[in-house]
Amino acid sequence: MAYGCSFAYWPDDAGRVEDLLALPQRNLLDDLLLAEGIRSYLRIPLRADGQLIGMLDLGAAAPEAFASEDERTARQIASR
């Protein structure tokens, strides 16, 4: 799990960004999310038969909005 870096660098892996404003470097997607009021987000891959079929992306207006329990819940949802 990668924390505190843009998802552009790991598009098919799980990750959590605690605060987009705190990133040392941001890309266009990060800036677009900030413009929409997103400060933190969580990304979980959706897989079927070992193949990536999509992503579950969750965003929040508050920094550090997602706790470990939120991540566990998202993983459970993604695995169904």
* Tens digits of residue pLDDT in 6-50: 555 455 677 889 999 999 988 888 899 999 999 999 989 888 888
| DSSP letter (8 states) at residue 33 | H
pTM comes to 0.76
CA dist 80 and 75 (Å) reads: 9
Taking only the tens place, the pLDDT of each residue in 39-59 is 999 989 888 888 888 888 899
Distances (CA, A) of 12 to 30, 35, 46, 62: 17, 24, 9, 24
> Quick one: 20 exposed, middle or buried, by C-beta within 10 A (0-12, 13-18, 19+)?
buried
Task: Please name each of the domains of the chain with its CATH number.
Answer: 2-78 (3.30.450.40)
